[in-house]
Amino acid sequence: MKITQTEIPDVLLIEPRVFGDERGFFFESFNEQVFQDKTGLSLRFVQDNHSRSAKNVLRGLHYQIQQVQGKLVRVVAGAIFDIAVDIRKSSPTFGQWVGYELSAANKQQLWVPPGFAHGFVALEDGTEVLYKTTDYYAPAHERAILWNDPDLGINWHFSGEPIVSAKDQAGIPLKQAELFD
């Protein structure tokens, strides 16, 4: 697998080595040893999540203030524009975001480390996202930053109106959010 640092070096874009022929394809979506050898990170994933979204469904920007989660995100059907926002106050990239199109076609993944808010918008109907987390879902510690916070200025890359849950519409601006040191 090829692992590339993004504009925020802790967020990593992962491109698997795909073996394909007329029958289809095969690839390792995660190999702990290869990931550790290439990044120096030793990860323990404890939960796998799967979501399905219609086109323009926007989910995020989510994080947990305790039981902090790192997320390894990939798409198995359709496509998303995936966003990671650095919400570590002591970080030189605090308040910055990166976004990448992840799709079933490109098979790329995004490593969103602990200390980041995460969100995505579905670019196609029937988009299915799988992501592994490094800690368990803890609703009492879940927080949401407003997806369209003008201080972040995220370009979500969708056409039309986003479909946003009531919970995500109630997200708060970054400057009012509970953050990491």
Contact criterion met (CB below 8 Å) for 168 and 147: yes
- Give me the active site residues, please: 62, 131
C-alpha dihedral, 49 to 7 to 143 to 151, nearest 10°: -140
Asked if 53 contacts 129 with a C-beta cutoff of 8 angstroms, the reply is yes
Distances (CA, A) of 58 to 51, 118, 169: 12, 11, 10
On whether the CB atoms of residues 154 and 109 are closer than 8 A, the answer is no
Say how far apart CA 29 and CA 72 lie, in whole Å: 10
Q: Work out the angle at residue 51's Cα, subtended by the Cα atoms of residues 48 and 55, and round it to the nearest 5 degrees.
A: 150
